[in-house]
Amino acid sequence: MDGQEAVVERFDAIVVGAGFAGMYMLHRLRERGLSVRVFEAGNDVGGTWYWNRYPGARCDVESVEYQYGFSEELVRGWTWTERYAAQPEIMRYAAYVARQLDLRRDIQFNTRVTAAAYDESSNNWTIETDQGDRVTAQFCIMATGCLSASRVPEIPGLDSFKGDWHHTGAWPHEGVDFTGKRVAVIGTGSSGVQSIPLIAEQAERLFVFQRTPNFSLPALNAPMAPDYVEHWKEHFMAERKRVRATNSAAFIPLNDQSALEVDPEERQRHFEERWKKGGFVFITSYNNILDNLEANRLTADFVREKIRQTVKDPKVADLLAPTNHPIGTKRLCLDTNYFETYNLPHVTLVDIANTPIERITPDGLIVDGHEYQVDSIVFATGFDAMTGALLRIDIRGKDGLSLRDKWEAGPRTYLGLAIAGFPNLFMITGPGSPSVLVNVIIAIEQHSDWIMDCIDHLRANGLNEIEAEPDAEDRWVKHVNEKADSTLYPLANSWYLGSNVPGKPRVFMPYVGGFANYDKICKEVVAKGYEGFRMG
Ligand code: N01
């Protein structure tokens, strides 16, 4: 950044991103009388939901839970229509919130933040955008999302491909018509699992290229009965308060019993009962599924059997039934007709676990010497999760320290909220916080409220600067790692660990210690006078 250029505008706070985190943070800051500018790369609010418009894009947290909980008025004024809201409905909800809170007037759309640098003498951040903006603010708040930096893998020859190709995380707003086309889908995570059945409905021929099979549970999505909706509106505030005091931060009831202490018939009956309810309620059938290998195997066996019962060709069923990671250690998927899709005669599963896609040709893809000729390629290949969106910005803290350098061996944060060497910079749902392991909207509200209280504290005490102390950060990173290592999570190659991105350091990024425990720690830090932070 060239220090000689003129600064055009000054704000109390800059927020990067107008997804659910940026929207709420803007509301809170403005409520407290701060001047705020939000920069958003998209043309609307909604964050990840703005970009992920692929066929079948749908939330896998139940819609009654996937909403803000800070305002009863907002809750009462909005009516969800389906158990799991589809992407267009979530966008309508985001627009409703933006309208109700009059957010848009402080959001600059179509503007990507490219750089942010801290000036120690003035305690200010200078922020630059791809539209030529250069603004300063005392506080810079990164609401950049955990799953927003989409990733197209480097497969040689993509430039030569004659057909069209799209990434699920950057889907064209006008939609894509696959009618009569031969289509390749690469990737079988949540985005692939959701889009494959719908692409199959249109395509003349569909090839799914699978590197790792994923566990997926039936969503059993359905329209919501009006009396159920009303019931939720009535009880939402109390229920949200209750779940915020739990470690899962979800309405899903955990059966607090070991899978190993019940007899096999009872376990089978219980699994079946929860399976029939649809959704993630299945994975909380027992309390040790995610930290005991045997409990996990029993659970995975049940799901593998369901896959084998659904998929008619036993060889295909074998390929689809995951055996290389414990269930739940890669993000579980929820689906509608995913496994059934492989029974369709025009759908072919191509196993690329040991034979990666060699290259893309003008007419298709080559695997194991064979060319699969296609008209369209869909990359359902995921994201540079949790750190990608932050590191794509040139962030420089004290003494010009670059975040890219600081995080070369993996992200280091204090509480997932702050970074030593980067004063007055906050992250919402940053690495080292529960974020993607819980209902992210609850995580967003908790972080934004903490940040707001912190800024209030600084202002009330005439303080200009807050910075995480390096030893507090070290202790937190150690704690986050120890928590992860006490579970089965590190046994899978997952985006939680960064293993989907070649060369990314293998570090378990989210905090697995539970939402309520984490919230308590954040409160204790405040109660002890912002323990682990230096203020001045
Ligand atoms: O991405 P993913 P996603 N060659 O990383 C494969 C949330 N989400 O977009 O597993 C071949 O999970 C990769 O293979 P592997 C949710 O939290 C939520 O699907 O790395 N294949 C994998 O199969 C989710 O977890 C919702 O071996 C390659 C797939 O691509 C997260 O977003 C909906 C490859 C990527 O799966 C990410 O989901 C959608 C290569 N070079 C997403 N590179 C809902 O709310 C990658 N793959 C429902």
- Would you list the DSSP string of 415-451? TTTB-TT-TTEEESS-TTSSGGGS-HHHHHHHHHHHH
> Average pLDDT of the chain?
96
The pLDDT confidence band at residue 439, using thresholds 50, 70 and 90, is very high
Tokens 């293998």 locate to 506
Whether residue 194 has pLDDT greater than 90: yes
Q: Model confidence over 354-405: pLDDT tens digits?
A: 999 999 999 999 999 999 999 999 999 999 999 999 999 999 999 999 999 9
Q: How far apart are CA 173 and CA 52, in angstroms?
A: 9
Q: What is the pLDDT of residue 5?
A: 58
Burial of 431 (0-12, 13-18, 19+ CB in 10 A): buried
Does residue 190's CB lie within 6 angstroms of at least one atom of ligand 1? yes
The verdict on the CB of residue 495 being under 6 Å from ligand 1 is yes
pLDDT band, residue 456 (cuts 50/70/90): very high
Q: How far is the centre of ligand 1, averaged over its atoms, from the C-alpha of 402 (Å)?
A: 29
**What are phi and psi for residue 528, nearest 5 degrees?**
-95, 30
Distance 179 CA to ligand 1 centre (A): 24
**Cα dihedral sign, 52-57-59-63:** positive
> Do 439 and 249 contact (CB within 8 A), yes or no?
yes
Q: Which of 181-190, 214-223, 251-260, 383-392 has the lowest mean pLDDT?
A: 251-260
Name the CA dihedral angle for 238, 242, 245, 251, rounded to a multiple of 10 degrees. -120
Span 130-187, pLDDT tens digits: 999 999 999 999 999 999 999 999 999 999 999 999 999 999 999 999 999 999 999 9
Specify the residue with its C-alpha closest to ligand 1, atom 45: 59
Q: What is the pLDDT of residue 252?
A: 83
Give percent above pLDDT 90 in the chain: 98
Distance CA 170, CA 351 (A): 25
d(C-alpha 415, C-alpha 408), whole Å: 19
- What is the rounded distance in angstroms from the CA atom of residue 330 to the CA atom of residue 325? 8
Closest ligand 1 atom number to CA of residue 212: 27
- Residue 245: other Cβ atoms inside 10 A: 11
Residue whose CA is closest, atom 15 of ligand 1? 212
Nearest residue (CA) to ligand 1, atom 7:
190
Is the CB of 331 within 6 Å of ligand 1? yes
The mean pLDDT value for 453-468 works out to 98
Q: 510 CB less than 6 Å from ligand 1? A: no
Enumerate the β-bridge partners of residue 82.
223
The answer on pLDDT for 256 being more than 60 is: yes
- pLDDT for the residue numbered 112: 98
CB atoms within 10 A of CB 162: 9
Cβ proximity of 337 and 310 under 8 Å: no
CB contact at 8 A, 294 and 288: no
Summarize pLDDT for 65-83 with one digit per residue, the tens.
Answer: 999 999 999 999 999 999 9
Q: How far is the CA of 188 from the centre of ligand 1 (A)?
A: 6
Closest Cα to atom 35, ligand 1: which residue?
Answer: 381
pLDDT at 3: 46
**If you take atom 6 of ligand 1, which residue's CA is the nearest one?**
187
Question: What are the structure tokens assigned to 404, written together?
Answer: 């890219």
Burial 480-491 (b: 16+ CB within 10 A, else e): bbebbeebbbbe
Q: Tell me, what's the pLDDT at 409?
A: 96
498 Cβ below 6 A of ligand 1: no
Gap from CA of 500 to ligand 1 centroid (Å):
8
CA distance 244 to 252: 12
Cα 186 to ligand 1 centroid, rounded to whole Å: 9
CB 419 within 8 Å of CB 534: no
Round to whole Å and give the CA distance between 25 and 145: 13
Please give the distance, rounded to the nearest whole angstrom, from the Cα atom of residue 432 to the centre of ligand 1.
21
17 Cα: distance to centroid of ligand 1 (angstroms): 22
3-state secondary structure of 522: helix
Cβ atoms 85, 78 nearer than 8 A: no
The pTM of the full predicted model, rounded to 2 decimals, is 0.97
- Ligand 1 pocket check for 216: Cβ under 6 Å: no
The amino acid at residue 98 is A
How far is residue 202 from each of residues 58, 136, 214, 459, measured CA to CA in Å? 19, 49, 23, 57
Rounded mean pLDDT of 305-319? 98
Choice from 167, 168, 191 to test ligand 1 binding pocket (greatest atom count within 8 A of CB)? 191
Q: Ligand 1 centre from 216 Cα, in Å?
A: 13
Tokens describing residue 64:
């009654």
The 10 Å Cβ neighbour count of residue 174 is 7
Helix (H) or strand (E) holding 83: none
Q: How far is CA 125 from the centre of its chain?
A: 27
